[in-house]
Amino acid sequence: MSMNLRNVLLFAAMGALLVAVGVIQSANVALAILNLCLISAIMTLGVNIQWGYAGLFNAGVMGFAALGGLAAVVVSFPAVPQAWAVGGPRAMLGLATGVCAIALAIVAWKRMPGSRRLRGWAAAGVALAGIAVMRLVIDPAVEAIEAVEPAKTGFLGGLGLPIVLSWVVGGALAALAAWAIGKIALGLRSDYLAIATLGISEIIIYFLKNEEWMARGVKNVNGLPRPVPYEIDLQQTLWVQDLAARLDFNVIELSSIIVKLCYAGLFVVALAVIFWLSERALKSPWGRMMRAIRDNETAASAMGKDVTWRHLQVFVLGSAVIGLAGAMLTTLDGIFTPTSYQPLRFTFLIWVMVIVGGSGNNLGSILGGFVIWFFWIEAEPIGLTLIEFLTSGMAQDSALRLHLIENAAHTRLATMGVVLLLVLRFSPRGLIPEREK
Amino acid sequence: MTAVTDILNALALLSNFVLVPGLAYGSQLALGALGVTMVYAVLRFSNFAHGETMSFGAMITILVTWWLQGKGVNFGPLPTALLALPIGIIGTVLMCLLFDRFIYRYYRRQKAAPVTYLIVSVGILFILSGVVRFVIGPQDRMFADGERFILKARAFKEMTGLDQGLAIKTSQGVTVVTAVIIVALLFWFLNRTRTGKSMRAYSDNEDLALLSGISPARVVAITWIITGALAAVAGTLYGLDKGYKPFTYLGLVLPIFASAIVGGVGNPLGAIAGGFVIALSELLLTFAYKRVIAYLTPGDWVPDGLVQLLATDYKLAVSFVILVIVLLVKPTGMFSGKTL
């Protein structure tokens, strides 16, 4: 019971911090932090499924989150009929050719008679020829699509469906990528998975930056449709104006708060569902088996468990959750910017959240996501204040002082590193440790 | 006669755009991969912070270079950074030893799993990237001075009478020469000296080495000294050649790991070979062969497209694809090494 009390107190303290920001800075800032805390918590749950349940190190969180973002664009953005007319079918045919080439290469590798070496060369030959054919098919289509009003569209657009659907699609897309990478890297030494996932995530980002026909690349996709009302519309409605008058609040600010609250409501529902499912999985026989594999692979495989297959399963599941969170993030932003995906922010920061929260404990992951995101944002004003205070004795225009103030924002990176190392050293089980059975 | 000139022109073109930059980039990757491989062979973990260690070394070198330039010191035609490099090496080595003493040593005594070290290295990655950005800022920094070229394209054309120029930048020459010296020193140390042999013994079989009276603390310290020095040199050379920007060094981790794995993690010879394999295949696969083919085919025929296998933007994908192929076909790498 005391454990439960401790958890309640930790979450209450976190809530108090957010309220404090609401009072000191503004309610809008606090809610903006809260929304990203919720998304971070879901990403952290995803990584916890891989690391906490099964001990797999995924260094490609960024890539899976970006695939979720791509899904948000593809599902929600209205189609661009002109672009479809000039190159849509041909581009799809090109994609299909690429998929067929890969499938054929795999078949050649697996099914062809002959020595390993021969099959290897055959597979490589098939893959290269397939890529050449794909380029022949797809290149003119890409050129045509990107030439359609390049300043406004220049891409195929999406399906024009409600953006919330993309959360599921993003999860599926990330799961697919995870399956491919897991097939290659699982079953080898543990750091190979880390390096392979690091690689795939960088390549996904390069792909999204360069394939403009798909999601405009570095030109970004603006104005994704929202699942919640727009501020402007809210400001016109009577009940908002009425409420603002009664609370003595600025209408513009109130509308923005309402929008953020709507998002928060959606995110809380998603977080609750994923948390419930994760807990169910962890407590089920499947969860016990995963932990058994994590704690002693040799013993588990001697008991007849297919370790590699189970690892693949859990890796795909965790990545799907990360992809879902990625789609949610793009939904919240309303804009898809491939350049914003940085490994420090999207991969390694999530890792700090998992470790600080408590690996293996879902509640801990949620808390870790909240705490670390809060300090990631608030470290900047805190660091700036601290440096201004420390250097207040120097001359106003001292070069050192100006340099320190200008670069104060970067202290948060170092702070995160120090926090991670301190937790690992002095409290390696995190804020809310895994429950012993 | 024209046929021979055409072939020579094609060769000059390839050398200018593939061979020379490939050798320089390959040397930088090889030095980086050597650092990763040394840590792996002795301390048995993948050091994700190695890219930032390189960045840290380059940063110190740049700061000292600016100070020297401010004092009016220069190194003639060579970049001043070479004079500053020893200080950069010392700074990086001290940093590595400090981190080992206060962070890694604890986990060594705990006999922690390799993946714990990996997470620790992520913590160090954060600290280093914060420190570097805090001290020198996130902007681009140019610090190369001295002569820009060893061989200018025009001089080459006049010398040989070919249409195609071949230019060699000073930074490229300096990179290759420095890499050769460093690698020679490293191999001499590992194979000829008593300490080097004890390191190889430790990496090969820890328990046996302990029984033979080899001090693990000493071996670990020397490993960090070598790793720090290699990282500082690699980081500085990369910065000289391509311009220093803190952000790019995190991205270097992937090709560096790919080089180390392709060659066989833990095998120094493999790290060097891997570096060149990755660098040259990146350039060969993203090079536009249009003009080369135009020279090699008779008549005035010129291909329509660029004849480029992969868009230049996908350079990074090349190292990844090679990594994947090696993982699938021969996970132990070309030299199947595990030991020094």
What are the domain boundaries of chain B? 2-329
Which helix (H) or strand (E) segment holds residue B289: the answer is none
Cβ of A206 within 8 Å of Cβ of B133? The answer is no
Tokens of A12: 């209450």
Cβ of A351 within 8 Å of Cβ of B129? The answer is no
Q: Is the pLDDT of residue A202 over 70?
A: yes
For residue A393, give how far its alpha carbon lies from the nearest alpha carbon of chain B (Å): 20
Cβ of A414 within 8 Å of Cβ of B130? The answer is yes
Assess B129–A contact: CB distance below 8 Å, yes or no. yes
What is the number of structural domains in chain A?
Answer: 2
Assess B217–A contact: CB distance below 8 Å, yes or no. no
Tokens 């660098």 locate to B279
Residue A1 lies in a domain: no
User: Average pLDDT for residues A144-167, to the nearest whole number?
Assistant: 82
User: Do A312 and A368 belong to one domain?
Assistant: yes
For residue A382, give how far its alpha carbon lies from the nearest alpha carbon of chain B (Å): 15
Q: Which residue of A198, A406, A407 is in closest CB contact with B254?
A: A198
Assess A22–B contact: CB distance below 8 Å, yes or no. no
Angle at B22 between CA B20 and CA B27, to 5 degrees: 105
Q: Is the pLDDT of residue A348 over 80?
A: yes
For residue A420, give how far its alpha carbon lies from the nearest alpha carbon of chain B (Å): 6
CA distance B166 to B12: 6
User: Do A145 and A280 belong to one domain?
Assistant: no
Q: Is the pLDDT of residue A316 over 60?
A: yes
Give the CATH number for residue A273: 1.10.3470
Query: Tens digit of pLDDT for each residue in B215-233?
Result: 889 999 999 999 999 999 9
pLDDT score at B340:
46
Cβ of B130 within 8 Å of Cβ of A413? The answer is yes
B2 — pLDDT class (breaks 50, 70, 90): low
Cβ of B311 within 8 Å of Cβ of A210? The answer is yes
Q: Which residue of A191, A412, A416 is in closest CB contact with B114?
A: A191
User: By CA distance, what is A186's nearest residue in B?
Assistant: B327
Q: Which residue of A203, A351, A406 is in closest CB contact with B316?
A: A203
pLDDT score at A437:
58
Cβ of A418 within 8 Å of Cβ of B331? The answer is no
Last residue of a domain, one of A156, A171, A186: A156
User: Do A264 and A117 belong to one domain?
Assistant: no
> What's the first-to-final CA gap in chain B, in angstroms?
51
Assess A206–B contact: CB distance below 8 Å, yes or no. yes
User: Do A118 and A164 belong to one domain?
Assistant: no
What backbone phi and psi angles, to 5 degrees, belong to A304?
95, 15
Assess B103–A contact: CB distance below 8 Å, yes or no. yes
User: Which residues of chain A lie closer than 8 angstroms to B316, CB-CB?
Assistant: 202-203, 206
Tally A–B CB contacts below 8 A.
127
pLDDT score at B138:
84
User: Which residues of chain B lie closer than 8 angstroms to A194, CB-CB?
Assistant: 46, 48, 115, 118
User: Do A74 and A134 belong to one domain?
Assistant: no
Tokens of A64: 């899976």
Give how far the C-alpha of residue B241 lies from the chain's centroid of Cα atoms, to the nearest Å.
11
Do residues B20 and B168 lie in contact, with contact meaning Cβ atoms separated by under 8 Å?
A: yes
User: Which residues of chain A lie closer than 8 angstroms to B250, CB-CB?
Assistant: 343-344
Cα–Cα separations (whole angstroms), residue A40 to A34, A46, A262, A323: 10, 10, 18, 12
Which helix (H) or strand (E) segment holds residue A323: the answer is helix A307-333
Do residues B241 and B28 lie in contact, with contact meaning Cβ atoms separated by under 8 Å?
A: yes
User: Do A37 and A146 belong to one domain?
Assistant: no
Q: Is the pLDDT of residue A373 over 80?
A: yes
Query: Tens digit of pLDDT for each residue in A58-70?
Result: 999 999 999 999 9
User: Which residues of chain A lie closer than 8 angstroms to B110, CB-CB?
Assistant: none
* Average pLDDT across chain B, whole number: 87
pLDDT higher at A188 or A270: A270
Tokens of A90: 């041909």
To test the contact with chain B by mutation, choose from A424, A427, A429 the residue with the greatest count of B C-beta atoms within 10 A, namely A424
Do residues B270 and B277 lie in contact, with contact meaning Cβ atoms separated by under 8 Å?
A: no
User: By CA distance, what is A409's nearest residue in B?
Assistant: B134
Q: Which residue of B122, B133, B258 is in closest CB contact with A351?
A: B122
Assess B327–A contact: CB distance below 8 Å, yes or no. yes
Query: Tens digit of pLDDT for each residue in A246-305?
Result: 887 888 888 888 999 999 999 999 999 999 999 999 999 999 999 999 888 889 989 888
pLDDT higher at A88 or A282: A282
State the sign of the Cα–Cα–Cα–Cα dihedral A197, A182, A417, A7: positive
pLDDT score at B336:
65
User: Average pLDDT for residues A217-246, to the nearest whole number?
Assistant: 84
Residue A3 lies in a domain: no
Last residue of a domain, one of A103, A129, A156: A156
Considering only A45-49, A136-140, A312-316, B33-37, which range has the smallest mean pLDDT? A136-140
Cβ of B48 within 8 Å of Cβ of A407? The answer is no
Tell me if ipTM is over 0.85. yes
To test the contact with chain A by mutation, choose from B59, B109, B134 the residue with the greatest count of A C-beta atoms within 10 A, namely B134
For residue B53, give how far its alpha carbon lies from the nearest alpha carbon of chain A (Å): 14
Residue A8 lies in a domain: no
Assess B258–A contact: CB distance below 8 Å, yes or no. yes
User: By CA distance, what is B113's nearest residue in A?
Assistant: A190
User: Do A130 and A216 belong to one domain?
Assistant: no
A423 — pLDDT class (breaks 50, 70, 90): very high
Assess B261–A contact: CB distance below 8 Å, yes or no. yes
Q: Is the pLDDT of residue A413 over 70?
A: yes
Q: Residue A424: which of B324, B337, B126 has the closest Cα? A: B126
Q: Which residue of A195, A343, A424 is in closest CB contact with B261?
A: A195
Cβ of A195 within 8 Å of Cβ of B46? The answer is yes
User: Which residues of chain A lie closer than 8 angstroms to B115, CB-CB?
Assistant: 55, 57, 190-191, 194
Residue A251 lies in a domain: yes
- Domain B2-329 adopts which CATH fold? ABC transporter involved in vitamin B12 uptake, BtuC (1.10.3470)
Tokens of A418: 């120090």
Assess B46–A contact: CB distance below 8 Å, yes or no. yes
Buried b vs exposed e over B73-111: b needs ≥16 C-beta within 10 Å?
A: eeeeebbbbbbbbebbbbbbbebbeebbeebbeebeeee
Query: Tens digit of pLDDT for each residue in A4-40?
Result: 888 899 999 999 999 999 888 888 899 999 999 999 9
User: Do A256 and A125 belong to one domain?
Assistant: no
pLDDT score at B339:
44
Tokens of B193: 């000296």
Do residues B163 and B173 lie in contact, with contact meaning Cβ atoms separated by under 8 Å?
A: no
Assess B48–A contact: CB distance below 8 Å, yes or no. yes
Backbone dihedral region of B329: left (phi > 0), alpha (psi from -120 to 50 degrees) or beta? Answer: alpha
Q: Is the pLDDT of residue A134 over 50?
A: yes
CA distance B232 to B250: 15
User: Do A122 and A182 belong to one domain?
Assistant: no
User: Do A179 and A324 belong to one domain?
Assistant: yes
Cβ of A418 within 8 Å of Cβ of B123? The answer is yes
For residue A274, give how far its alpha carbon lies from the nearest alpha carbon of chain B (Å): 26
Q: Please state, for a pLDDT cut of 70, what percent of chain B lies above it.
A: 97
Cβ of B317 within 8 Å of Cβ of A203? The answer is yes
Assess B311–A contact: CB distance below 8 Å, yes or no. yes
For residue A77, give how far its alpha carbon lies from the nearest alpha carbon of chain B (Å): 26
For residue A198, how many other CB atoms are within 10 A of its CB?
27
Q: Please state, for a pLDDT cut of 90, what percent of chain B lies above it.
A: 41
B76 — pLDDT class (breaks 50, 70, 90): confident
Query: Tens digit of pLDDT for each residue in B9-28?
Result: 888 888 888 889 999 999 99
User: By CA distance, what is B265's nearest residue in A?
Assistant: A192
Burial class (CB in 10 A: 0-12, 13-18, 19+), B159: exposed
* Amino acid making up residue B283: L
Cβ of A210 within 8 Å of Cβ of B116? The answer is no
> What's the first-to-final CA gap in chain A, in angstroms?
15
Considering only A378-382, B40-44, B260-264, which range has the smallest mean pLDDT? A378-382
To test the contact with chain A by mutation, choose from B36, B126, B324 the residue with the greatest count of A C-beta atoms within 10 A, namely B126
What backbone phi and psi angles, to 5 degrees, belong to B177?
-65, -45
Cβ of B320 within 8 Å of Cβ of A407? The answer is no
Cβ of A420 within 8 Å of Cβ of B126? The answer is yes
User: Do A359 and A303 belong to one domain?
Assistant: yes
Beta-bridge mates of residue B168: B151
Last residue of a domain, one of A122, A156, A190: A156
Tokens 């969170």 locate to A325
Cβ of B323 within 8 Å of Cβ of A415? The answer is no
Give residue A330's domain range: 27-79+157-426
Assess B127–A contact: CB distance below 8 Å, yes or no. yes
User: Do A96 and A69 belong to one domain?
Assistant: no
Q: Which residue of B133, B316, B329 is in closest CB contact with A202?
A: B316
